[in-house]
Amino acid sequence: METSEKFEPICCPKLDPSLWEDKLLTWNDKKFVKASVFTMFYMPVNFGQVMRKLDKAVSAAGATIPDWLCLSDHTSKWNMDVYLAVDKEIPGLQNVTLSGNFFCKVYEGHFSDTKKWCDDFQKSTDTKGLKIDKWYMWYTTCPKCAKKYGKNYVVIVAKVNS
């Protein structure tokens, strides 16, 4: 018997929002590889190319990407630094570590809601008595997978102090 369903390969794993919603995490030298993405007015231009390069190097090193975590730091209208979580150092890439307390909150919807999400995140940290030192965005799926899953989850992750 043949099936008429078209096989859709998994590009981005499905996020379980309950693992990240309203969580305070403590990282001690959590490993990442860092790369830069060219952006035009904050919109990534070569994101896919950069991610393929990182994935190739991570795979070649026999490493994994815990939770498929990739933090984005929008440093200007023209640049976004990405921090891809890894389980060991990767030769030939910029290896960095992050340590401290990190507060996370999950949002769902179109990227045009980012300001609304950031305002809500700020209110949440204020209510909890947390001071944001550094913001990161985690775009958990590519546009194709967001369409496939019917959800576009974005997690705001911030290094915080109380």
- Residue 10 included in any domain: no
Query: How many domains does the structure of the chain reveal?
Result: 1
Tokens for 160?
């915080």
The yes-or-no verdict on residue 56 having pLDDT over 60 is yes
Question: CA–CA separation, 55 vs 51, rounded Å?
Answer: 6
Question: CA–CA separation, 74 vs 43, rounded Å?
Answer: 10
- Residue 47 included in any domain: yes
Task: Identify which of 13, 90, 9, 15 has the alpha carbon closest to the alpha carbon of residue 56.
Answer: 90
Per residue in 60-113, pLDDT (tens digit) is 999 999 999 999 999 999 999 999 999 999 999 999 999 999 999 999 998 889
**Coil, helix or strand at residue 90:** coil
Using a cut of 0.75, tell me whether the model's pTM lies above it.
yes
CB 56 within 8 A of CB 97: no
Question: CA–CA separation, 52 vs 126, rounded Å?
Answer: 37
Tokens for 43?
């919109």
Domain that holds residue 114: 21-161
Question: CA–CA separation, 41 vs 148, rounded Å?
Answer: 27
- Residue 9 included in any domain: no
Instruction: Identify the pLDDT of residue 5.
Output: 43
- Residue 128 included in any domain: yes
Instruction: Identify the pLDDT of residue 86.
Output: 98
The yes-or-no verdict on residue 133 having pLDDT over 60 is yes
Give the E-state strand segments of 7-114 in sequence order: 23-40, 43-44, 70-76, 79-85, 94-108
- Residue 67 included in any domain: yes
Domain harbouring 83, CATH code: 3.20.80.10
At 32, phi and psi to the nearest 5? -145, 160
Instruction: Identify the pLDDT of residue 100.
Output: 98
Instruction: Identify the pLDDT of residue 4.
Output: 40
- Residue 79 included in any domain: yes
Q: Which of 14-18, 58-62, 109-113, 125-129 has the lowest mean pLDDT?
A: 109-113
